[in-house]
Amino acid sequence: MSSPDLTQAEREAVLAVLNTPNLSMGQEILDFERAICEYTGAKHALGVNSGTAGLHLCVHAAGIREGDWVLTTPFSFVASTNVILFERATPIFLDVDPLTGNMDVTCLREAVHDLLEGGSAARRWLPRQGLKGDGVQRDAPRLKAILPVDVFGQPADLDPILDVAQAHHLKVIEDSCEAIGATYKQRPAGRLGDYGVFAFYPNKQMTVGEGGVIVTDDDEAANIMRALRNQGRAPGDTWLQHTHLGYNYRLDEMSAALGRVQLSRLDELLEKRAQVARWYEERLAEIPGVEIPVVVPETTRMSWFVYVIRLSGVDRDQVSKELKTRGIPNRPYFIPIHLQPYVASQFGYREGDYPVTEDLGRRGLAIPFSGVMPEGDVDRVCEAIREILSKQV
Ligand SMILES: *Cc1c(COP(=O)(O)O)cnc(C)c1O
């Protein structure tokens, strides 16, 4: 489905670390974090050992606790919801924009209005069951934060999201795990809310193996997240003193070294991916039954993560199978989070609850995509799609 884009420079950087005794908590992580700050303009960058770990620390830093509500979307990779569940908070799902798959901001405005009003207005947005801490008297409102996802490398519509957040004192955690380098109205994705997270799994635009990074301008949040990343050690704690209940979410030195080289090549990596996306677009745009990805005007730079087409008038799963028979890997994208078994059973979600998400989930097919994909391979994939569809449509 994908392939990392690595050169001799990456291999040498990792090898150089292996020729020292410092494999964790050394100079490489500091250098990588400084480079991320320079690239994004963030005051703080914290390397972590996965994007999920980064999002989890942000949820904690945002003060989200048991029984709190966080507005997010079910059209995403499961991690964006899991990190809310880790803290026993409740994800309140909003349906998505049919063009981008990102948070529908009209839904957001209505939901915030209704949730703050309470009663039956609020119930329309809440899950059927599984709310924690109900009946507990509280001083603080339950609605704490918004967690928008920049789906497939296209930033969510952050201006209206930030307006709502500001008006109601909600934190914004931007899941930019699929969107490093993207811009929204010329502003960098991941830098628009209170916290942003980028992920570096091998299929992402740049990789460190396993890892991610948090960016924020919030000093206090950065301090607590640094402590929690490092087994709860606060500044001044010794190796075996732990002020907080923490985690081991550290990024090792080999990964940081790899990340620094990848980051120095990021603009090149993104341009190569954009070229492959253009090749796909040229070939797929004219095939009946295929809808190609839409880049909206607010997205002043798309950071291509995956290439997901939508099929209409044909059986997506049948097309998927036939492509596999021809040796072309592909994947449905996404299976909606509210229908994942553990989420559906905890909260009582059913098919039909989020129609746009479900429609996109039924029709979306990710096809092979990476910055090192040769034009001939794009030809082969597109020819196969054309042939299979010509029989089906
Ligand atoms: C990749 C990704 C993550 C984090 O993934 P990790 O594998 O934990 O690094 C989180 N959210 C979204 C939307 C992602 O695509």
Does ligand 1 have an atom closer than 6 angstroms to the CB of 306? no
Does ligand 1 have an atom closer than 6 angstroms to the CB of 361? no
Does ligand 1 have an atom closer than 6 angstroms to the CB of 199? yes
Cα–Cα distance between 217 and 196 in angstroms, integer?
Answer: 10
Mutual angle of helices 266-284 and 375-392, in 10-degree steps: 30
Which pLDDT score, from 0 to 100, does residue 139 have?
60
Is residue 171 within 8 A of residue 55, CB to CB? The reply is no
Tens of pLDDT, residue by residue over 197-245, are: 999 999 999 999 999 999 999 999 999 999 999 999 999 999 999 999 9
In the chain, the amino acid numbered 238 is T
Where residue 110 falls among pLDDT bands split at 50, 70, 90?
A: very high
Does ligand 1 have an atom closer than 6 angstroms to the CB of 178? yes
In the chain, the amino acid numbered 261 is V
Tell me 88's DSSP state: T
Block residue for tokens 């799963």: 317
Tens of pLDDT, residue by residue over 14-63, are: 999 999 999 999 999 999 999 999 999 999 999 999 999 999 999 999 99
Where residue 133 falls among pLDDT bands split at 50, 70, 90?
A: low
Cα–Cα distance between 129 and 157 in angstroms, integer?
Answer: 30
Tell me if residue 235 falls in helix, strand or coil: coil
Cα–Cα distance between 149 and 23 in angstroms, integer?
Answer: 33
- The β-bridge partners of 216 are 44, 195
Is residue 77 within 8 A of residue 177, CB to CB? The reply is yes
Tens of pLDDT, residue by residue over 298-313, are: 999 999 999 999 999 9
CA of 50 to the centre of ligand 1 (A): 8
Block residue for tokens 């880049």: 295
* pLDDT tops 80 at residue 135: no
Tens of pLDDT, residue by residue over 49-102, are: 999 999 999 999 999 999 999 999 999 999 999 999 999 999 999 999 999 999
Does ligand 1 have an atom closer than 6 angstroms to the CB of 370? no
Mutate to test the pocket of ligand 1, among 173, 175, 198, 337 (most ligand atoms within 8 A of CB): 175
Cα–Cα distance between 323 and 331 in angstroms, integer?
Answer: 10
∠ CA 102-365-306, rounded to 5°: 60
Is residue 195 within 8 A of residue 174, CB to CB? The reply is yes
CA of 264 to the centre of ligand 1 (A): 21
Tens of pLDDT, residue by residue over 309-362, are: 999 999 999 999 999 999 999 999 999 999 999 999 999 999 999 999 999 999
* pLDDT tops 60 at residue 115: yes
369 upstream amide cis, omega within 30 of 0: no
Does ligand 1 have an atom closer than 6 angstroms to the CB of 80? yes
Tens of pLDDT, residue by residue over 260-280, are: 999 999 999 999 999 999 999
Rounded CA Rg of the chain: 21
Is residue 249 within 8 A of residue 61, CB to CB? The reply is no
Cα–Cα distance between 320 and 289 in angstroms, integer?
Answer: 14
pTM of the model: 0.97
CA dihedral angle for residue 365, residue 371, residue 376, residue 380, rounded to 10 degrees = -10
